[in-house]
Amino acid sequence: MAIKGKGKTRSRPPARAPRRAPVDVPTPFTQRRWVQIVAALLIGAGIVWFLIWLTNGIRQGTVDDREAAAAVERRRAVQGWKELVETEIPKVGALGAAGVPPTVAADLTATIESLTDGDDDVTAIDGLDERLETGATTLEDYDLAGAIRDTGFEVGEAGALLDSQTGMVSAFRAYAVAARLTVAASELPEGQRERFVAEAQAVSKSADATLQGAWNDYVLGLGAAGLTPAAADAAPGLDAGGIPVGG
């Protein structure tokens, strides 16, 4: 009796592919811990920088506002002195071109020189000494120190303004002395005038030097207040450009 299936091989299922090991998915760049820490530090630094910038800007704006207000105050404090000087000088002389010292008692020099040539006509300086004395007193009585007190001028700037006042007063009075000496010399015989004329010339030259120094101080002081001297063709109280100041 034959045995079924003997000699036949049993079919096997096909071999399966090897099972893959699980693969870790990489963390997105923006979610990595070190990236988040660096980003947080950069954002924090940016905020701090912005706050510092904002604070400094506010502080600088406050400083600028205060300086602008102080500049206006200094300008107003000196404006009265400027107007007085540029009103009094034309009474005994003439303002020069912009930046050039004024001319005071110009007829005095010519009269002194004429005396040395034997001319005794002094009508050109008639009453000049009195006008000079009046001008000196007017300039001296102006309370410039009080006007510029507590207005923010530096010591050198305030000193220049006060020196301009002292110098102009001294120059005016020196010119007045020279004028009186000149008149006195004209009343003497020609042979006796020499000493008076020489003295008048010396005093007049000293007054010129004093006025020059005073004017330099005056220009420096005005510059510290943001002002400039009026030119010869400008009305008192106007700056070099003819624009009203102090407004």
- For residue 22, what pLDDT is reported? 65
Residue 184, in any domain of the structure: yes
Residue 218, in any domain of the structure: yes
**Residue 247 binned pLDDT confidence (cut-offs 50, 70, 90):** very low
Question: How far, in Å, CA of 35 to CA of 21, rounded?
Answer: 29
pLDDT digits (tens, 9 = 90+) for 167-218: 999 999 999 999 999 999 998 887 888 899 999 999 999 999 999 999 999 9
Residue 95, in any domain of the structure: yes
The percent of residues in the chain predicted with pLDDT above 70, rounded, is: 75
Residue 233, in any domain of the structure: no
Residue 205, in any domain of the structure: yes
Strand partners, 94: 103
Total structural domains within the chain: 1
| Structural domain for 213, as ranges | 77-224
pLDDT digits (tens, 9 = 90+) for 15-66: 665 666 666 667 776 777 877 788 888 888 888 887 787 777 666 665 444 5
pTM metric for this prediction: 0.68
Question: How far, in Å, CA of 91 to CA of 131, rounded?
Answer: 7
Question: How far, in Å, CA of 110 to CA of 105, rounded?
Answer: 10
CA-atom Rg of the chain in angstroms: 45
Q: What is the largest CA-CA distance in the chain?
A: 190
Contact 122, 169 (CB under 8 A): no
